[in-house]
Amino acid sequence: MLLVVKVGWEEAGHTERIRRVLDRALAGWTYTVIEREKAFLRWCVRTPAEKEGTAVLFAVALPRAGVSLSYVHLVSCLVRHRHCLAGCRGAVLVDGQGEFFTKKIGRELIFFANQAGCIFPGKPLVEATGSLYNFNTQAKIQGLSNEEAYAVSAGHLVNKLLSFVRPSGSGKVKDIVVIHASSRRTSNTLLLWEMVRCHLQGKAKVTEISLRNGSVVDCRGCSYETCLHFGEKGDCFYGGVMVEKVYPAVRQGDVIVLVCPNYNDAVSANITAFFNRLTALFRKEEAAFANKEVYALVVSGYSGGDIVAEQILDAMNCNKNFILPPYFALIETANDPKSILRNAGIEDRAARLAKYICM
């Protein structure tokens, strides 16, 4: 079943473009449309069996101001009904009238839908700014107008959503690659990972890689041709731990777990460098990345863990084509060393994430 959830269309006013693009993308498919938040709420409270296997396409039309009450109501529904999208797979199409907000709203919606149990294939977001300038490159490569390139991308998104099947982990010992850049002496985030790892004993093969102490040089922006040249050999111009340890482990792994403390509402510099340097391998392994899953452990000293989680999903799911499995991020708050151990219910949440990873 394909469910198309239209968000903000009445508020946006000018919806001719997204209507044209969506009609073309959905041509030949059978689908159900929901246009009112109350109708979506009624769908959300259906039994899990009724929703199992549903493909959900969120089609968001943003007004120029970027604020949509319909979108706010949708997010509120997802937060209040925590498991309302369990068993569903999703994708997001965002059409804006200005140059701002489309990426922000897109990745935020993916985050909240994922926290409600929705799985997303790699690259599940198509966003169109008012000018469609963000389709310049694709249009030139394909010899199309920008709107035609937009429509082609929307069509590919629908096809991907409907054909997506999560790789089966049944009967297989998963190969898990854990990336971190923290100190074991002080890190609540690494301590949280150790709690999760205890529940993986005998169920998975785990490889841990530390990027601490500046051991990974950030991407310096090689030309596309240079990056592609090295990537085809599983290499990178700047070498180091990324080529020696990270690339082989990512190639082999089924699951990537990112251990990410919140640094000023962002991942650390070394994790950012990991995202950037992964591009060389991605250019050769994009299809293989589409069968790998990403999870994240995020611990904030004060607040903002959701912002960090969105940054991770943007880099790994929207950009690098990794699958975003249901409930991909375990987000906690802890400040003083080892204080995470005092978080109520933390052992249960760690055990639950380990269970998700092994599914």
Q: Examine the pLDDT at 111 and tell me if it is beyond 70.
A: yes
Task: Say which residue, 237 or 67, is predicted with more confidence.
Answer: 67
Is the CB of residue 271 less than 8 Å from the CB of residue 234? no
Q: Which domain holds residue 253?
A: 174-358
The answer to the question of residue 81 being in a domain is yes
Residue 169 within any structural domain of the chain:
no
Domain CATH number, residue 243: 3.40.50.360
Residue 8 makes CB contacts below 8 A (sequence gap 6+) with 60, 61, 62, 63, 68, 69, 70, 71
Q: Provide the pLDDT for residue 270.
A: 92
Q: Are residues 154 and 183 in the same domain?
A: no
**How crowded is residue 156: how many other Cβ atoms within 10 Å of its Cβ?**
13
Of 163, 198, 228, which residue constitutes the final position of a domain? 163
User: What pLDDT digit, counting tens, does each position of 22-50 carry?
Assistant: 999 999 999 999 998 889 999 998 999 99
Burial level of 111, CB count in 10 A (0-12/13-18/19+)? buried
Indicate the residue among 163, 187, 222 that finishes a domain.
163
- Are 290 and 321 in contact by the 8 Å Cβ rule? The answer is yes
Total of domains in the chain: 2
Residue 227 has pLDDT above 50, yes or no: no
Is 233 in the same domain as 320? yes
pLDDT of res. 231: 47
Q: What is the pTM of this model?
A: 0.93
User: End-to-end CA distance of the chain, in Å?
Assistant: 23
Say if 168 falls within a structural domain.
no
Shared domain check, 185 and 91? no
**316-354 tens-digit pLDDT:** 999 999 999 999 999 999 999 999 999 999 999 999 999
Higher pLDDT, 237 or 15: 15
Per-residue confidence band for 236, with pLDDT thresholds at 50, 70 and 90 = low
pLDDT tens track for 242-254: 888 999 999 999 9
CA 131, 134, 137, 138 torsion: positive or negative? negative
The tens digit of pLDDT for each residue in 142-157 reads 999 999 999 999 999 9
For 196-228, letters b (16+ CB in 10 Å) and e give bbebbeeebebeebbbeeebbbebeebeeeebe
Specify whether 222 is located in the same domain as 135.
Answer: no
Q: What is the pLDDT of residues 113-140, one digit of tens each?
A: 999 999 999 999 999 999 999 999 999 9
**Edge to edge, what strands does the sheet with 125-128 contain?**
32-34, 2-7, 55-61, 89-95, 125-128
Predicted confidence at residue 171, as pLDDT, reads 67
